[in-house]
């Protein structure tokens, strides 16, 4: 897709982060928009910002885990806008928990949004993209759809699933010589609110030796690599060149090269890094305790 002018794009998770940035960037390029998010107020704010750029915008609250609701949204979007050319299955959540203590309901919550939400959006919009004669599906995986990490088994499972689903879909569309194509996006650390809204199981403290608030602070630092606006521009550049995969940010590109180089051996390296970090925390705690004891004895 060489131009976005007068195209119609549907975006999930458009209330904040990459979804909002994609919406605004597409609006600046002349695309009309159908926006959705679980947070009705935030997606309304995005819609208002995009309307100010002179394009036609519709918005609504949507839970992408609800298959019937997603299909209804697709029908309404096609009826209201007259066509649909692009769908960005962007909505996502995160969960940090060791496998041994993961609750089934938390696992299901995450998979229903991160994986089934992508499946629902793809299947709901694909007929309308075909009807338009030119279409593109953009499914958001993750850096963690390339590399696995301890305590991220559920998130890894969902993002590896999105990758496999999208790569299979791309091949099917190629085989059918369809007017629709698709791209799998692997963002590295993108500054969004996903950490703020993530679920962190209480068992994480015992497993990692880090309390929940410290875990969130460290995670926020790790994702503050690429701005959401820069990520949106990289994604749209990938759509323009019909890329099969888009690696967003320098961290995603580095990790992709690492996994290609090491293969499954990267897992041993990750374990070594985690153990080294744990030892550093223990030494820091011991030093802090020693200083506290020395201070207390000097006051008596």
pTM of the model: 0.88
**pLDDT at 219 > cutoff 90:** no
Q: What is the pLDDT of residue 220?
A: 53
Catalytic positions are 155
CATH 3.40.50.720 for domain 8-262: yes
What's the whole-number mean pLDDT along residues 119-144? Answer: 97
Question: Which residues are 33's β-sheet partners?
Answer: 9, 57
Total Cβ atoms within 10 A of residue 116: 18
Mean pLDDT of 24-49: 98
Q: What is the structure's pLDDT at 6?
A: 97
**What is the band of 218 on the pLDDT scale with cuts at 50, 70, 90?**
low
Contacts of 294 (CB under 8 A, 6+ apart): none
The pLDDT of residue 131 is: 97
Q: Two tokens at 200? A: 């962190």
Tokens 């959540």 map to which residue?
93
Adjacent-strand bridge partners of 245: 184
pLDDT one-digit tens code per residue, 75-131? 999 999 999 999 999 999 999 999 999 999 999 999 999 999 999 999 999 999 999
Q: Place 278 in a pLDDT band, splitting at 50, 70 and 90.
A: confident
Average pLDDT over residues 257-283: 86
For the stretch 49-76, pLDDT in tens is: 999 999 999 999 999 999 999 999 999 9
Cβ–Cβ under 8 Å, residues 65 and 89: no
The domain spans of the chain are: 8-262, 264-299
pLDDT of residue 57: 98
State residue 295's pLDDT score: 53
- What pLDDT is stored for residue 200 in this prediction? 77
- The rounded distance, in Å, linking the Cα atoms of 220 and 276 is 21
pLDDT number for residue 202: 76
Which helix (DSSP H) or strand (DSSP E) does residue 136 occupy?
Answer: strand 135-140
Could you tell me which residue, 212 or 176, shows the higher pLDDT?
A: 176
For the segment 254-268, the average pLDDT, to the nearest whole number, is 94
Asked if residue 216 has pLDDT above 50, the reply is yes
* 299 pLDDT above the threshold of 60: no
Report the SS3 class of residue 92: coil
Whole-angstrom Cα distance, residue 226 to residue 145? Answer: 18
Predicted confidence band of residue 217 (pLDDT cuts 50, 70, 90): low
Which single residue is written with the structure tokens 């995603």? 252
CB distance 114 to 162 below 8 Å? yes
Q: How much is the average pLDDT of 241-256?
A: 95
Tell me the percentage of the chain whose pLDDT exceeds 90. 76
Cα separation, 297 vs 274, in Å, equals 35
Q: Residues 188, 226: contact at Cβ < 8 Å?
A: yes
Question: Residue 290: its pLDDT value, please?
Answer: 47
More confident residue, 215 or 67: 67
Mean pLDDT of 224-229: 84
């Amino acid at each position: 897709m060489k131009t976005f002018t007068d195209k119609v794009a549907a975006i999930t998770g458009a209330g904040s982060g990459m979804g909002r940035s994609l919406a605004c960037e597409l609006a600046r390029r002349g695309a009309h928009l159908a926006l959705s998010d679980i947070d009705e107020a935030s997606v309304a704010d995005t819609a208002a910002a995009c309307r100010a750029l002179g394009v036609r915008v519709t918005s609504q609250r949507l839970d992408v885990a609800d298959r019937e609701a997603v299909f209804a949204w697709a029908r309404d979007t096609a009826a209201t806008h007259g066509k649909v050319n692009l769908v960005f299955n962007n909505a996502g959540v995160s969960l940090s928990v060791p496998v041994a203590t993961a609750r089934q309901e938390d696992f299901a919550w995450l998979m229903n949004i991160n994986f089934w939400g992508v499946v629902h959006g793809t299947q709901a919009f694909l007929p309308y993209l075909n009807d338009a004669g030119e279409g593109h599906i953009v499914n958001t995986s993750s850096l963690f759809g390339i590399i696995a990490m301890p305590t991220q088994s559920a998130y890894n499972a969902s993002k590896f699933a999105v990758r496999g689903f999208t790569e299979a879909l791309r091949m099917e569309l190629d085989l059918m010589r369809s007017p629709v194509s698709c791209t799998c996006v692997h963002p590295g650390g993108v500054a969004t609110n996903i950490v703020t809204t993530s679920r962190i199981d209480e068992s994480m403290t015992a497993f990692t030796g880090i309390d929940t608030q410290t875990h969130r602070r460290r995670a926020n630092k790790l994702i503050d690599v690429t701005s959401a606006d820069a990520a949106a521009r990289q994604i749209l550049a990938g759509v323009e060149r019909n890329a099969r995969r888009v690696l967003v940010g320098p961290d995603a590109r580095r990790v992709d090269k690492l996994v290609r180089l090491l293969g499954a051996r990267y897992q041993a390296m990750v374990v070594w890094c985690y153990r080294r970090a744990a030892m550093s925390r223990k030494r820091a705690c011991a030093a802090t305790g020693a200083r506290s004891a020395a201070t207390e004895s000097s006051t008596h």
